[in-house]
Each structure stands twice: as structure tokens, then as C-alpha cells.
């Protein structure tokens, strides 16, 4: 997953909610959403806010020591943090666009990735941490 994203296409978001059968009041448009912020998560036929940073249920504390906002398909079944959520706690994070960074000649340049026809439905993993 990316490191920043936007949710600005509210008609597209409503279409996605209708498609997955979730009745939810639309949030206001948001820009430059970053890891550790609360984001809209669609899961188990409902929607709600979740912190964009996986804290496994077994963790003793919330930590940002390791990058836990981006799971790679190569490690989903190997990483202890991702194994349980990958098996049974999957969801969707709706996005209108996201930002990827590319380095050219030592300069980091942001690239906005979007699909102007549809809201993006990005795969997500979730867990419940109580500390």
C-alpha cells in the first residue's frame, strides 16, 4: 500500500458502498491521509473508522518501530503480525487516489495514481488491539 492517499470522489464512494451493501453516512472529502490517521475501513458488511497502522492483538504496546501500514504479498503468510488478519480479518479501504514516490537523479517526486472512472477498493488487513 502507498504512504499517502485521498478520498475525494464521494459519488464513487457511494457507488462502492452500494455495491458491497453497506449503508453509511458519507464522510467529508479528505486529502493527504497518512499512516496512523483514522481511515474508513469496510469489513464484514459494515464500515467504520480504523487506525491506519496494524497493531497486532498480541502486541504489548502500540509501536511505530516497524512499518505496519504496508503488507507485502510475499510476507503475508510468513509474518506473525499478518498471519491471523490475512486468514480471517480482511477489508477494503476506499481511495480516490494515492501517492507513490519515485526517485530520479536523487530527487523524490510524488506521482498521483488514480482511476477517474471508479473509486479504488484497496485490500486491507485489520486486527483489534486492546491495551
pLDDT digits (tens), the chain, 131 positions: 588 999 999 999 999 999 999 999 999 999 999 998 999 999 999 999 998 988 877 877 777 666 677 777 888 888 888 888 888 889 999 999 999 999 999 999 999 999 988 999 999 998 888 77
Strands 4-7 and 46-51: unpaired
2 as an active site residue: the answer is: yes
Which CATH fold would you assign to the domain 4-125?
hypothetical protein yedk fold (3.90.1680)
Question: What are the residue ranges spanned by the domains of the chain?
Answer: 4-125
Of 37, 61, 73, 100, the active-site residue reads: 100
* pTM metric for this prediction: 0.86
Strand-by-strand arrangement of the 120-125 sheet: 46-51, 38-43, 90-95, 120-125
Active-site residue 100, yes or no? yes
DSSP secondary structure string for all residues of 27-93:
PPPEEEE-TTSEEEEEETTEEEEEESS---TT-SS---SS--S---TTTTTT-HHHHHHHHH-EEEE
Amino acid at each position: 500500500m502507498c504512504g499517502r492517499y485521498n478520498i475525494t470522489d464521494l459519488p464513487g464512494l457511494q457507488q462502492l458502498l452500494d455495491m458491497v451493501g453497506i449503508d453509511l453516512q458519507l464522510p467529508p472529502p479528505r486529502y493527504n491521509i497518512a499512516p496512523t490517521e483514522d481511515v474508513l475501513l469496510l469489513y464484514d458488511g459494515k464500515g467504520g473508522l480504523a487506525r491506519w497502522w496494524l497493531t497486532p492483538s498480541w502486541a504489548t504496546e502500540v509501536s511505530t518501530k516497524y512499518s505496519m501500514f504496508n503488507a507485502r504479498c510475499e510476507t503475508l503468510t510468513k509474518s506473525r503480525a499478518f498471519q491471523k488478519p490475512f486468514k480471517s480479518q480482511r477489508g477494503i479501504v476506499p481511495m480516490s487516489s494515492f501517492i507513490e514516490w519515485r526517485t530520479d537523479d536523487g530527487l523524490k517526486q510524488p506521482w498521483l495514481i488514480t482511476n477517474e472512472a471508479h473509486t479504488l477498493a484497496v485490500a486491507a488487513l485489520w486486527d483489534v488491539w486492546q491495551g
